[in-house]
Amino acid sequence: MVEAGADPMNLMWDYLTNGDNWSGDGGIADRAAEHVALCLGALLIAGLIALPVGTMVGHGRRGDDLPIALGTLGRLMAPLGVFCYFALKIDAGSDAVLFALVLLAIPPMMTAAYTGVRLVDVAAVDSARAAGMLPSQILRGVEIPIALPDLVGGIRKASRQVVAMAAVGAFVGAGGLGRLIIDGQSDEFRDYGMVATGGVLIALLAVILDGLIVMVGHRFTSPGLARRPVSRPARPEPAPAATYPTMPGPPPPPLNN
């Protein structure tokens, strides 16, 4: 039990600095490794499905309803309900959560890939076509490189969702850092330092993974696209000053002959 008025930061620090909490099954290192494996597996599987489909739909400019519908569905899905559904259909544990995380990661990736390729400047595509490039060459050599910042943005959005929702998967028996939050509130442990540690490490993992994705995306993005200036709206011209009619001045005096 925790004493009343105990500082959560002190409780978290005490939990983190206890070497026994890092080793063995269910330790911090073990839960962190489970969380990373679950997130990377879901992102990899979702990327292999969503990115090729999104780029092909954007390139062909047909079948626009698919990424739009999936993007809308991804915003409407309740993650915990999806986890519970697949836990009942498959089995409670990490397998059901992995499958559900893949479904949650596909919509933002596919939408970003479709939008990025679809909005590539038509002049660049026409120039490549006039140079004799085949459609597949245009996709690989022109559209995907130009759309790469959008693709990276979709992967970043999916990674943040997956890292956060993987913690929710602990409710249906999955491993990961979410177990620290769930188990820390149980009657067996009742350790709020354990709960705080799980929450902080999940947030830290999301930041680290997002930073790695940015670094890799920057490495493969053309310098011209990475350093393009942010477009700013043109400053409106000031309205002309209002003028009012005035009485004509007196006529000039006559000239003396």
| pLDDT tens track for 197-229 | 888 999 999 999 999 999 998 888 877 665 554
Enter the tokens of residue 116: 């990025």
Q: How many CA atoms lie less than 13 Å away from 57 in the CB half-sphere?
A: 21
- What pLDDT is stored for residue 95 in this prediction? 78
Q: Which parts of the chain register pLDDT below 70?
A: 1-6, 8, 63-64, 71, 74-76, 78-80, 83, 85-93, 224-250, 255-257
The answer to whether residues 194 and 28 touch, using CB atoms and an 8 Å cutoff, is no
- What pLDDT is stored for residue 229 in this prediction? 46
| CA–CA separation, 246 and 76 (whole Å) | 65
| CA–CA separation, 149 and 113 (whole Å) | 10
The pTM for the full model equals: 0.78
In sequence order, what are the residues at sequence separation of 6 or more whose Cβ sits closer than 8 angstroms to the Cβ of residue 132? none
The answer to whether residues 107 and 52 touch, using CB atoms and an 8 Å cutoff, is no
The answer to whether residues 109 and 47 touch, using CB atoms and an 8 Å cutoff, is yes
- What pLDDT is stored for residue 42 in this prediction? 93
Q: How many CA atoms lie less than 13 Å away from 24 in the CB half-sphere?
A: 5
| CA–CA separation, 175 and 169 (whole Å) | 8
Return the SS3 of 200. Answer: helix
The answer to whether residues 90 and 96 touch, using CB atoms and an 8 Å cutoff, is yes
Per-residue pLDDT tens over the stretch 95-119: 778 888 988 898 889 889 988 898 8
In 3D space, the residue among 100, 105, 73 whose CA is nearest the CA of residue 88 turns out to be 100
